[in-house]
Structure formats: structure tokens, C-alpha cells
Structure 1
Amino acid sequence: MRMTLPALVIGILVTQGAMAAGDGTAAVGGGLGGALGNIVGQQLGGSTGAAVGAGVGGAAGSAIGAPRGNKTEAAIGGGVGSAGGSIIGNKLGGSTGSTIGAGLGGAAGGAIGNNLGDDDNHRSNGKHKHKHKNKHKNH
């Protein structure tokens, strides 16, 4: 129980930082999807079902919230973050901790994945084209 409060505080800080960086829609989508998927998964399959549900929900929510070109990265980040948050939250605070962890993990993972997708897109769009000029030499 001692680890619950610091984990929540760190999750909230990461989520706020992600929202401030302009990754809000992927973060909100990943957080909501992860939490809802966690709740449905708990009802269907206990803690394992909760982690699977959180992963699927976090991935879907992050992908929906991410802009075009970043959907894959945001989905991976949201899915992994939600599933990991669900597992860690379950160890720290049972089913309620699992849902909170899935929400925070999905929000952070979706935002980070979206941000990484932005970095990749900027690098690939910055290719330099070299034009070859024919130079004629006077002999």
C-alpha cells in the first residue's frame, strides 16, 4: 500500500506532462480505453482478463485519439501502457488499483507513442534531395 500513492502521483505527473506536450487526445483515448477495457476484462476473466482487456482497450483508445500517421505508435504505447498499468495496479491495490493503473498507463503510453510517431514523421519528411547538375567543361 505504501507504493500506491507514489505510483499514482508519478502517473498523474506523466499524464499532465503528456497533455501539455500536445498529445492530449491520444492520452485521453488510451486512458479511457484502458480503464474501460480493464473493467470489462475483470468481469470476464479476473486479473488476467483485466490485463488483456486493458491492453486492447488502451490500444484502441489511443489509436482513435491519435492523428493520422501516429496511430500505430500510439496504439502500441497505449496497449502496452494499459496492460502494464493493470498488472502493477492489481499488485498494489487490487481491482480498483488495476483499473486506475490501466487508465494512467494507457494515458501515458498513448501520449508517448503519439509523441514518438511525431518524431519519426518529422525525420522522414526532412529528407534532402540532391540535384545533380551537369557541368560542361570547356576544353
Structure 2
Amino acid sequence: MRMTLPALALGILVTQGAMAAGDGTAAIGGGLGGALGNVVGQQIGGSTGAAVGAGVGGAAGSAIGAPRGNRTEAAIGGGLGSAGGSVIGNRLGGSTGSTIGAGLGGAAGGAIGNNLADDDDKHRSGGKKYKHKHKHKNKHR
């Protein structure tokens, strides 16, 4: 119980930061998916199953919450963040810490992945556009 309140407070701060960055749905999806995957994974396979479940759940939740063009990056970020948070949380606070860590890691990873995808799209769209106006120039000779 001692770990729960500070972890919840930290989770609220992380989520607020993600919402301010415009990555709220991917962050919430990654956090919820990571936490739920962690709980299911703990029941099936202990701490290793918890980390795997958190990774899969965080990836799925982030992908569902992300906009269409950002799903791959958000899924990678949410999955890695959830799995890493699960492992670190398990070391610090047992099974409860593992679940909290998976939720926080999934939220942060989903938001970061989504944000990186947005930045990448801005750099890709700066190229020249060719309209092919004079495609059939010698048509009526």
C-alpha cells in the first residue's frame, strides 16, 4: 500500500504530460493494455509471463489508441515501455509494482512512439511534388 499512492501520483503526472503533448489516446491505451496484460501474464507464467503479457498488452493498447499513420511506432513504444516497466516494477515492488510499472511504462512508451511518428511524418512531407501537367504534350500533331 505504501508504494501504491506515490505510483498513482506519478502515473497521473505522466498521463497529464502525455495528454498535453497530444498523445493521450495512445498513452492511455498503452497504459491500460500494459497493466491488464501484466495481470493476465502473472497468472499464467509468473514474472516472466507478466513481462511478456505487459509487452503484448501495451503494444496492442497503444496501437488501438494511436492515429492511423502512427500505429506501428506507438505499438513498439507501448510494448517496450510496458515490458521494461514490468521488469523494473517487479524488482522494486513485487507483483503490485510490476503492474504499476507496466502501466506507467506503456503509457510513456505509447506516447513517445506516437510523438516520434508525428515528427517523422513532418520530415517526410517536405519533398517536391510533380503534377505531370504536360503528360500528353505531343498528342495532336
TM-score (norm 1): 0.82
Per-residue Cα deviation, 1:36-65 (whole angstroms, up to 9, x for no partner)? 000000000000000000000000000000
Question: How many residues of Structure 1 are paired with residues of Structure 2 in the alignment?
Answer: 137
Mapped to 1, the partners of 2:56 and 2:15 lie a distance apart of 19
Residue 123 of structure 1: how far off its partner (Å): 3.7
Residue 14 of structure 1: how far off its partner (Å): 2.9
Mapped to 2, the partners of 1:33 and 1:95 lie a distance apart of 16
Query: Does 24-33 or 118-127 show the bigger shift?
Result: 118-127
Residue 34 of structure 1: how far off its partner (Å): 0.1
Residue 13 of structure 1: how far off its partner (Å): 2.8
Residue 4 of structure 1: how far off its partner (Å): 8.4
Mapped to 2, the partners of 1:89 and 1:131 lie a distance apart of 61
Query: What's the RMSD between the two structures over aligned residues?
Result: 4.5
Contiguous gaps of at least 5 residues in structure 1: none
- Seen in structure 2, the aligned counterparts of structure 1 residues 60 and 129 have a Cα distance that, compared at 3 Å, is farther
Contiguous gaps of at least 5 residues in structure 2: none
Query: Does 122-131 or 88-97 show the bigger shift?
Result: 122-131
Percent identity among equivalent residues?
91
- Seen in structure 2, the aligned counterparts of structure 1 residues 124 and 36 have a Cα distance that, compared at 3 Å, is same
4+ aligned runs moved over 6 Å, structure 1 = 1-8, 127-137
